[in-house]
Amino acid sequence: MNTRQRFRETLLFGSPDKIPFIPGYPRKSTLEAWHSQGLDPQTDFFDALLDTLSIDPAAKPQRFDPGVSFKMIPEFEETVLEHRDGHYLVQDWMGAIVEISDTFDYTFLRFPKDFVTRKWHRFPVETRDDWEEMKKRYSPTTEGRYPADFEERSRQLNESEAVVEFQVNGPFWQLREWCGFERLCLLFLEDPEFVREMIEFWTEFVLETMRGIFAKTTVDRVGISEDMAYKAHSMISPAMTREFLLPTYRKWVTEIRAGGCPIVDMDSDGYVAELIPIWIEAGINCCDPIEVAAGNDIVEYRKRFGKHIAYTGAIDKRAIAAGGAEMQAEVLRVVPPLLVEGGFIPSCDHGVPPDISWPNFLEYSRLLAQLTGWL
């Protein structure tokens, strides 16, 4: 079975020969720590992992994106506006004014290379006039939206054995980037029609852009980035989620299924138990990363929601960091019960933080490889 077949079979509750081996991905600070703990800085960490554990190189995930951009075009100019007291004040590529430690730079705002704390001072959509200007940056037909070699790239991806996937911002995520979290929450109550207008615009932009991908490319997974939950509850109520966001999810899922893609994956941090039923209602059939520290229990979720939804993630990063018996107990609590029924790719329940040492990551990965059929 090739990578693409194995991925589909696993998340669609089929009969894979093995489960995809995806222990988790480190950030920059994690790699720096691992380099001091024995990982060769000149070697890709995943190659080193497979070599150290004597795992078949075919276990390395092969996943490709068609290269179509859902970002604004043109982007804002990334500019350092001020540098004082150990902090940069930056206009980022999305037009927000953001403060970050001068340990980093604005490229950390564009690419999640590390765990970076930010403070927002201004967002790009504060008035109706701002909104009218912002809309101009989101045309599905803008030059550069699709790569110049899109047709040839699509042909190669269609013939590939790798997983083909792309990610879009959900409506809550996208409006938060335009308006800011606090103001968006107030707008839901104070100006719901403006919220609906922005959501409808984003819904249609994504639909039209996706249609161009599906016309040429066989896609295995579409991910929706939403991040709409805290540690104990969702950021907006389930009732509000159903009223404002569910129509978008339904439209997108209908288009994605019509385009031949079988997996729609919702990505949200935080406690998601009260949101999962809404996602299932929309036709979304996978979610991640199922953070344990936020109160999520994937074993309980499988009992409650059955095979209506698959999962990736769900292994407590704190237990991996502890290593030894605590790590083993966590992995064995989660992985074997769900692998019996399928619909689960076990992984660290978020980016791998630097308190997970390279030796402990190796120990955890060895156990995961044994359980998923690679050792």
In the chain, list all ranges with CATH 3.20.20.210: 3-69+124-372
Q: Helices 298-305 and 324-341: crossing angle, nearest 10°?
A: 20
Can you point out the beta strands (E) in the chain? 63-64, 79-84, 87-91, 97-101, 119-122, 163-169, 221-225, 263-267, 286-288, 310-315, 344-348
By the 8 A CB rule, do 307 and 343 touch? yes
* CA distances to 27, 271, 333, 357 from 35, in Å: 12, 33, 31, 10
Residues β-bridged to residue 80: 90
179: enclosing H helix or E strand: helix 171-179
Each of the 375 residues of the chain gets a pLDDT tens digit; together they read 999 999 999 999 999 999 999 999 999 999 999 999 999 999 999 999 999 999 999 999 999 999 999 999 999 999 999 999 999 999 999 999 999 999 988 888 888 788 888 999 999 999 999 999 999 999 999 999 999 999 999 999 999 999 999 999 999 999 999 999 999 999 999 999 999 999 999 999 999 999 999 999 999 999 999 999 999 999 999 999 999 999 999 999 999 999 999 999 999 999 999 999 999 999 999 999 999 999 999 999 999 999 999 999 999 999 999 999 999 999 999 999 999 999 999 999 999 999 999 999 999 999 999 999 999
* CA distances to 6, 192, 214, 216, 336 from 262, in Å: 13, 33, 12, 16, 25
Q: Which CATH architecture has domain 3-69+124-372?
A: Alpha-Beta Barrel (3.20)
Backbone phi and psi for residue 143, each to the nearest 5 degrees, phi listed first: -60, 135
Number of H-type helices and E-type strands within the chain: 16, 11
Which pTM does this prediction carry?
0.96
